[in-house]
Amino acid sequence: MVYARPFEWFVLACILASTLMLCLETPTRPETDPFNDVLYAADIAFTSVFAAEMIMKVRTINTTSCRMYALNYLVLRSRQQSNRPTTTYPMHSNTGYRYR
């Protein structure tokens, strides 16, 4: 469902509407203006939609494949580290550390 075209369009429409609502907020508007309540309610609604989207997308990810991606990343990083030529320079006279 989360990769369905209508769902993606709905989320995109929510992003655009949320951006429009953010553009309508101004610091010069008095706090007692009822439009601030509308903006606040819209902010809560959009945040709820975005949180629900995130939860649905995270739940659809196969955890086994995530572990495999993490394992592949670690294997590639370790190969990069082991294949990198290391050069040791003479010890600096003040420190005693060797530089790579």
Give pLDDT tens digits for 15-68.
Answer: 999 999 989 988 888 888 899 899 999 999 999 999 998 888 877 776 555 566
Domain positions in the chain: 5-82
Largest CA distance in the chain: 72
Of the listed ranges 7-11, 15-19, 87-91, the one predicted with least confidence:
87-91
Reported pTM: 0.58
In terms of pLDDT, which residue wins out, 84 or 57?
A: 57
Q: How confident is the model at residue 80 (pLDDT cuts 50, 70, 90)?
A: low
What is the rounded CA–CA span in Å between residue 61 and residue 10?
A: 20
Apex 10 CA angle, 58 and 7, nearest 5: 50
